[in-house]
Structure 1
Amino acid sequence: MNRRLRMGMIGGGAGAFIGPVHRFAAELDREIELVAGVFSSDAGRSLASAADYKIDPARAYPDLATMFASEAKREDGIDFVTIASPNHHHLPAARAALAAGVAVMSDKPMTASLAEARELAELIAQAGRPYALTYTYSGYPLVREARARVAAGAIGTVRKVVVEYRQGWLAGAADGKQAEWRVDPARAGAGGCIGDIGVHAFQLAEFVTGLKVTRLLADLAAVVPGRALDDDCSILLRFENGARGVLLASQIEVGELNGLRIRIYGDQGGLVWRQETPNELILHRIDGGTEIVRAGTAQIGPDAQARTRTPGGHPEGYLEAFANLYRDFAAVLRGAAAPLLPGIADGLRSMAFVETAVTASRDDAGWVDLIGEGATQ
């Protein structure tokens, strides 16, 4: 039996939402174990986080250089790191890991800017180590099923794509650790809402349809007075086959929690998936019939079945989808293929989307070409 892969974490310390999510997801299949980390830029907080994660305090390091040097000397050193820090730290953290010969699983977006993403892509190519991104929603079984059905022609030729990601938690003052860095250009990068959740919507649209966005018309706004980065986004899309699209992302819609929804319409039907009811995929047919496809049933194909962990009617969701990405990443680290695992191409495409939309909206440029970066797998 293969030993468990050893994971280090960068960021994700006390008070962070995403750090424990990564830990739970990574360890769900018992293929991975969190053993070390630089959990905070503050050495004391990093050490305190070792107790929260129940790991050896000697492996809670004060900085990246110390962690990589120390872990390299151990027979049981880390196999990869997860980057769960704010956007501005993604490039330096990945650079340090790759220089140490350590594989990388990173939170999205890939970096804080397109220029940094291009630099990182070159470093990954030179290092030859696996790199993946946690575009979580591509790990849901019924998102995989939606992709398979679109590819198989279940709705015919794609004509229209509507993807929405609605939240309301930043409708007021950005108080607290998780909010503050997201509205700070120095830490978040050029995009606010668009870089935080808009990239999820963009990646989901390209992932499910199998089509690349070629042009866009963007209207990004900082609605909350005094805010430097966008918190509300309305973007028209044009896909490579001529299909039209709409992407809406907002963090100021009071009452919305995590309202990610995608609707895709073809000349023979349409489908709908909502993250808040993730175990149902609605398929409309042109003859008027509607099928509700449920996770954990014989309705779904082999790829979705392989990502389903419980029988039908037993809810699965966010953590399980995250865990599916870690399962795929573990397979890659062991030398297998995981073609649907988001990686460099998704990262470059998403950063190109952010930069193009931010620039076009600021300049009131109308329709513009999406900078050609990467390719949807």
Structure 2
Amino acid sequence: MERFYFDHAASSPVHPEVVKVMMEIYAGAPGNASSLHSFGRSARSLVSRARERIAEAVGCSPSELVFTSGGTESDNIALFGAARAGRARGKNHIVTSAAEHHAVLDAAEALERDGFRVTFLPVDGNGRVSPADAEAAVGPETALVSVMHANNETGTIQPIAEIGEISRKRGALFHVDAVQTLGLLPIDLKRLPVDLMSFSSHKVNGPQGVGALYINKSAPFEPTFFGGSQERKRRPGTENVAGIAGFAKSIELSVNSMAEKKPFLELIRYKWVERMTDIFGRDRLAVNGHPSERLPHIVNISFIGVDTETMLMNLDMAGIAASGGSACTAGALEKSHVLRAMGLPEERIDSAVRFSFGLGNTLEELDAAAQKVATFLGRIRKNS
């Protein structure tokens, strides 16, 4: 059966050049980057070069990058590390948005149970946080503000420069989850008013299980893991040398191809919405998220009248990979907290599907996939 991968926001295919870099390391001599002998020095050199290349791509000092296991860990250690450092300075308040990734929301709720006061900012019908709401929420007791660069379910881009300036003016650290934007939006940490920023390798055609956290050299931060001196004691543990080198290569490829990649992804997204509208009808289809302030590769569509679980099951049976845009727990699909935070009607929340595009997708396969959608939608309508 022909298969179509339209779920790049969940995990993207590894670029062949990344595979090549990693396989050369796996096939080479062993080495722990913390060891003092020549094998360890070779491994450490690979990690150092990768750190330098990633730092150059995002505009920071290599020493400000901490390697992690991915976006979830980066978000967690950012929130816990900054919040606890803030509490040591008498600050016990955290501000985030109601539409964040669960890695941030669940960490914030855990900190709330630990005695922190947490403010969850609302978002508008397009999923954007209002800088005015942020300004009203951030005060002298605020240790940390955490707002994502762009939403993983809808692609809506947040006004992080404005929120960062507000945070800096009020003396609060500002954390940004940039997992979905790396390689798609320019990131220059020398210019952005950001103190901590989370990245993930497998969203940019790199390997799974690798990520990074930018920590501004002047930002107060307390480590949450202990047991080693790696990553300047901010995140101990043996470095994933091959994964880190692959991550650096994937970022290099993504950043270098950004100018040509974005227009093509915009075209893919536009054509898919156009085909779905033709098949389903303009009056029964709704696109969720901001119409212009959004990422080029993500589209969240409500197929009103067909619930999300039915749609995903039929898409999968047709060989099309997509997502409900939310976690699957014990086999039961959760309704999107993002769409609910946006205040959308239940019929749109209950029928939403996220499609996301990237490396390997073509206009030709969109047509073939759309024909399959037309076939099973006709069958669903006939049986309803």
Give the TM bin, normalised by the shorter chain.
under 0.3
The structure whose residues are more often helix, as a share, is 2
Higher strand share: 1
Q: Which has the higher contact order (CA 8 A, sep 6+)?
A: 2
Which of structures 1 and 2 has the bigger CA Rg? 2
| TM-score, normalization by structure 2 | 0.27
